[in-house]
Amino acid sequence: MMEPGNFEGMKQKLSDKEVMVRALNEIKRLKHRVAALEHGGAEAVAVIGMGCRFPGGSSSPEKFWQLLMAGRDGVCEIPADRWDVDAWYDPADFCVDKMYTRHGGFLEDVLSFDHEAFGISAREAAGMDPQQRMVLEVCRDALGDAGVHDYSLLAGGATGVFIGAIANDYFQRFVDNPVLMDSRTGTGNSNSVLAGRLSFHYGFTGPSWVVDTSCSSSLVALHQACQSLRAGECSMAIAGGVNLIMHPTRMVALCRARILSPDGRCKTFDAAADGYGRGEGCGVVVLKRLSDAQRAGDVIQAVVPGSAVNHNGHGSGLTVPGVAAQQAVIEAALRMAGLKSEEVGYVEAHGTGTALGDPLEMEALCHVYRKTSNQKLVVGSVKTNIGHLEAAAGVAAFIKAVMMVRNGEIPAHLHVKTPNPHIPWDGMPVIIPRNAQMWPDYAEKRIAGVSSFGFSGTNAHMLVQES
């Protein structure tokens, strides 16, 4: 808190307007601190920077927003630089060693990397998993978006790094051809180094680790980043996730389990939902405690008032979604945030586009939201635009939510022609936005919920609020 004597001394050097602005910022900070104490110490977290590489040419949050508001589909055919698509493709869904899809949400030119900018030799860079390269680049973008350009100011600081990741496809090239290995193959292809290399490069000394809870990995990483900030373990946090599809074997395995959609698209909440379309990308956000961000004069893009993580426990199957657990994790996030369910105007659903998962998720949402209100909840999923980014799915949904609460607009939810007949729409107070629309006019403040559920059974829900 600002000492009275210091404040009086500053008045001599500052204009009346500047004094007023600083005083108002201090009042806001103290109000948020009081609110945090009233809610059990769960201080809100500020989003001060974002960076991304998502399908459809979404190389920045602004380009991503343009894709969403234009209602564009970023799914394409598997790029020729990944593998021989024809050799691995068979449209029959019973083939044991082929894939029945040749589409997904893919990025362009994932192997390019300015290694010199990060002090890495060409030889070491060639053996590095492109996921490590991309995390470095997208983190740099996010820091720039946060107004950080002199990286020396970060060295030795208690910045934490929390990255969600699942895939390790690039290492398969060394398994297939061991002669390519050298002394740095291990570090270049270890998922733990996705976080460790960031901390090493910038000199961060806060917590640094990688999260793997399957498809909920990056939202769980964001939750852990917020918790670490609240606990005082770090003063700033870098959080997000990455997923690149560099080898065909995982595609074959998912097709063998009949999990993927033949056309490579997530037709979430539609009668034609027949599995998910794989996607790839990377998203990174820069976070601070709200009071610290206000004191530093950071541009606050959105606020995270609360989040929660849980597990399905012992259910009807390891990978079967748990309705009760999904309800519980949403309710826990609302309690942490000190919010009522009717204050949330939109939910970014996990929404993979599966016959089993979609109805169960909608059941859980409608149990929690709008049960005491006649106002309808808007529900959508970014997976209909860019596919299911697996480990990076949660951060893609989060960045979309931040852009929505900032801009007061909701993009269209794609690929809904005939609503899923297994969802009792008449009894559910929800709207699926088939066209872009403005934020619901009944909302006093723009607040969105973001859900992410892993087939490991780990669920996450996060609230995102306008600043």
Instruction: Give the separation between CA 244 and CA 193, rounded to whole angstroms.
Output: 16
CB 449 within 8 A of CB 333: yes
Pick the catalytic residue: 103, 350, 413, 461?
350
State how far the Cα of 447 lies from the Cα of 410, in Å rounded to an integer: 12
Annotated catalytic residue within 103, 388, 413, 461: 388
> CA angle at residue 222 from 220 to 223, to 5 degrees?
65
Cα 351 to chain center, whole Å?
A: 14
Q: What is the DSSP letter of 46?
A: E
Cβ atoms of 78 and 85 within 8 Å: the answer is: yes
The radius of gyration computed from the CA coordinates of the chain, to the nearest angstrom, equals: 22
**Concatenated DSSP letters for 191-228?**
THHHHHHHHHHHT--S-EEEE-BTBTHHHHHHHHHHHH
Is 180 within 8 Å of 174 (Cβ atoms)? yes
Residue 74 has φ and ψ, to the nearest 5°, of -90, 10
Q: What residues are paired with 379 via a beta bridge? A: 347
Beta pairing, strands 208-211 & 236-243? unpaired
- Neighbour count for residue 177 (Cβ, 10 Å): 9
User: Tokens 């949402």 — which residue?
Assistant: 365
| CB-based contact 431:376 (threshold 8 Å) | yes
Catalytic residue among 139, 215, 234, 266: 215
Task: Say whether 388 is catalytic.
Answer: yes
The span from the CA of 402 to the CA of 385, in Å, is 17
Cβ atoms 447, 464 nearer than 8 A: yes
**Cα 266 to Cα 156: distance, rounded to the nearest angstrom:** 43
Q: How many CB atoms lie within 10 A of CB 47?
A: 31
Q: How far apart are CA 270 and CA 430, in angstroms?
A: 14
- What values do phi and psi take at 366, rounded to 5? -75, -20
| 386 φψ region: left (φ > 0), alpha (ψ -120 to 50), beta (else) | alpha
Catalytic residues: 215, 350, 388
